[in-house]
Amino acid sequence: MAIITTTKGDMDESLLEKREGNVDNDHEATTWVEYWLEGELVHRSAHVTLKQPATFAGGETASFS
């Protein structure tokens, strides 16, 4: 069984309710996982992959005229 780090300390995954989700759009692909214990969120991790880089476009040179 997997051990999950939680706000209550390390816990066996089987004792927790697992919820997962994802977002996939033009800007990012994100997955997240939550573990709940008796209605309380005790662990949440997220993994983001950026799809659109920061770009500078417009470098110019001046002419001697």
Mapped onto helix, strand or coil, the DSSP state of residue 14 is: helix
Residues in contact with other proteins by the rule CB under 8 A: 5-7, 23, 27-28, 30, 32-34, 41-60
Rg (CA), the chain: 22
Question: Between residues 1 and 56, which has the closer beta carbon with respect to other proteins?
Answer: 56
Residue placing its CB nearer to other proteins in the complex, 1 or 53: 53
Beta strand 17-24 with 9-12 is unpaired
CB of 2 to other proteins, least distance (A): 13
Nearer to other proteins, 1 or 41 (CB): 41
